[in-house]
């Protein structure tokens, strides 16, 4: 039986989500500027909403994830932070706005699943995020 996540583990997941939020925000800043709009205002607004949600959820994850036991994951913290880190790196290299939006939405879904302490949905969200990274 896997050990539950500790407060340090939860903090690592929170930090990974926050770093991913910063990558999305950087993408927004780089692609929506005064001189050249590579993304539309509505796309910018959608990404901004994802960023705000990720930022709020990353704060809540620290508390909510403590004691969460994820039997379906072999190494919960390493697996969670690893996929989130992978998504963050992928966002830095994406060109298509739809891909960035899909990754950001998948990150929000994962964070929401953690907050809800729904281990089955966490695994599902993690797999969806993996699929977005590989797309």
How high is the pLDDT of residue 109?
Answer: 93
Q: Copy the structure tokens of residue 67.
A: 């004691």
Does the residue 1 lie in any domain?
Answer: no
Q: Tell me the per-residue pLDDT of 63-93, one tens digit each, with 9 for 90 and over.
A: 777 777 666 565 677 888 889 999 999 988 8
Q: Tell me the per-residue pLDDT of 14-28, one tens digit each, with 9 for 90 and over.
A: 999 999 999 999 998
Does the residue 2 lie in any domain?
Answer: no
User: Which pLDDT band, with edges at 50, 70 and 90, does 48 fall under?
Assistant: very high
Q: How far does the chain reach from its first CA to its final CA, in angstroms?
A: 33
How high is the pLDDT of residue 31?
Answer: 86
**Tally of domains in the chain:** 1
pLDDT at 1 over 60: no
Q: Give the residue numbers spanning the domain of 16.
A: 7-134
Contact 113, 42 (CB under 8 A): no
Measured CA distances, 67 to 2, 7, 34, 39, 61 (Å):
11, 8, 46, 41, 11
Does the residue 70 lie in any domain?
Answer: yes
The stretch 53-71 carries a mean pLDDT of 79
Identify the CA nearest to 84 among candidates 28, 21, 26, 31. 21
Distance (Å, whole) CA 14 – CA 8: 10
């Amino acid at each position: 039986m896997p050990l539950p996540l500790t407060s340090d583990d939860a903090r690592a997941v929170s930090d990974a989500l926050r770093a991913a939020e910063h990558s999305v925000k950087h993408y927004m800043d780089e692609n929506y500027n005064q001189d050249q709009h590579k993304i539309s205002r509505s796309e910018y607004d959608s990404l901004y909403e994802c960023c705000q949600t990720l930022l709020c959820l990353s704060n809540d994850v620290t508390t909510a994830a403590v004691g969460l036991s994820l039997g379906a994951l072999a190494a919960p913290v390493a697996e969670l932070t690893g996929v989130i880190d992978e998504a963050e790196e992928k966002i830095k290299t994406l060109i298509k706005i739809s891909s960035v939006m899909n990754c950001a939405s998948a990150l929000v879904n994962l964070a929401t699943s953690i907050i809800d302490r729904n281990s089955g949905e966490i695994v599902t969200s993690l797999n969806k995020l993996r699929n977005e990274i590989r797309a």
